[in-house]
Amino acid sequence: MILTLARASLSRRRTRTALAVVGVAVSAALLLDMVMLSSGMRESFRSLLEVRGFALRLAPKGTLPFDTEATIDSADAIMAQLRANPDIVTVSPVLGGQLHVQLAGGSVAAVAIGIDPAVQGDYEPRAGRDIRDADDIVVSDALLAATGAHVGDTLRVAGGYDAQLRTVTRERRLAIVGTAHFIYTPANPKVLAMRLHTLRAMTAAQRDPVSLFMLRLRPGADADSVEQWVSRAIPRVTAISTAAALRQVDERLSYFRQLAFILGSVSLAVGLLLVTTLVTVSVNERLGEIAVMRAIGVSTRSIIAQVMVEGVVIMLAGSVLGLGLGLVTAHYLNGILAEFPGLPAAIDFFLFEPRDAWVSLGLLAVSGVLAGIYPAWRGASLPIAVTLREEAVA
């Protein structure tokens, strides 16, 4: 009976009810987006760090990986020291640099990554084969498009540029053996990967440098313990575990979480006030009807429950519509924020998880109950005789 009466009451003013549902949907969409924003980038960053199973990353002392152009010198000796630790099963060295692909009409600048193909964790092969020889390279699709080359072609690649003579230096012919998806780079990157020693030779690097070490630990090894060992044994590097990296990300993203909390709270408050206003107007229009129901024996509890159900129905109907709207707007906003310079393409600001939808629905359902409390109590507590007389005179 309560549901029947609530539905009849909402159907009586269909336009007003529909507008209220749309208003709640907008609030629900904003609330969902803010819940997704508060945790989305952190979780996608965690997935990015764990995608290849590397638990620790070693960067030059006092820096984050590739945060500066600083490098770790005497890397081969450090690599041997790391491999002697029984908790470390894989050591993947990475050197970053910039090279210039020479074309008939000019050159194309490309990011170069020097790796050990046997243990690399920077890319996933797509077509062709992986690197084997010193002059092999795998490239991104964007670099292929920019150079007009294909798998199997040979590129003239220069390691430097002499501004005075306006000529390139340390030029070398490299064979494209495959294409790859580069995990940690921005969208549509012009990237090529080659053997570490090849990149060192092309950039005239001294003292066998690397930009980063990535470490994979044996199952059951404690990352914090290995991190402490690295700090003691190799003091000129900074060891960063996944947990430590996430803590630093949390610090840098505190602004986004605060913004998400504020906007989410505002959207929830707007939805609450909107439904409270609508239910209050609806109850005021039906004071005589409610008084008659009380006069013929309908309990106050039933009347209060009916009014509160109306608020919950509006909230839930708007929430379901708002969830779809929220996912659409989140996808659009994520596309805009993904254009931030230097941000890895795998990072999502808005990451949908089922619990986000349940949290949003739960908060809005509670708001629907709260929205009906005051108008329900007021309509069910007015004196019956006085209310009927005022309605008759009106």
Element holding 79 (H helix, E strand): helix 75-83
pLDDT digits (tens, 9 = 90+) for 251-263: 766 777 777 778 7
Report if residue 227 sits inside a domain. no
Please check whether residues 111 and 192 belong to one and the same domain: yes
Report if residue 219 sits inside a domain. no
Structure tokens that stand for 19 in this block: 């507008």
Please check whether residues 192 and 111 belong to one and the same domain: yes
Identify the domain boundary among 164, 192, 214: 214
Please check whether residues 137 and 43 belong to one and the same domain: no
pLDDT digits (tens, 9 = 90+) for 282-295: 777 776 667 777 67
Please check whether residues 274 and 185 belong to one and the same domain: no
Identify the domain boundary among 161, 187, 214: 214
Record the pTM: 0.67
Bridge partners of 161?
168
Instruction: Kindly report each contact of residues 328-337 with a partner whose C-beta sits within 8 Å and lies 24 or more positions away, as own/partner.
Output: 329/29, 329/33, 330/32, 330/33, 330/36, 333/33
Report if residue 225 sits inside a domain. no
Report if residue 231 sits inside a domain. no
pLDDT digits (tens, 9 = 90+) for 223-275: 888 888 998 888 888 888 877 777 777 776 677 777 777 877 888 888 778 77
Q: What is the mean pLDDT of the chain?
A: 80
- Average pLDDT, integer, range 370-384: 71
- Of 21, 53, 42, 55, give the one whose Cα is nearest residue 353: 42
For the ranges 56-60, 87-91, 271-275, the one whose mean pLDDT is highest: 87-91
pLDDT tops 90 at residue 130: yes
Report yes or no: 283 and 379 within 8 Å, Cβ to Cβ: yes
pLDDT digits (tens, 9 = 90+) for 7-37: 656 666 677 777 777 888 888 888 778 877 7
For residues 209 and 375, which has the higher predicted lDDT (pLDDT)? 209
Domain count for the chain:
2
Report if residue 262 sits inside a domain. yes
Domain of residue 313 covers 2-48+254-393
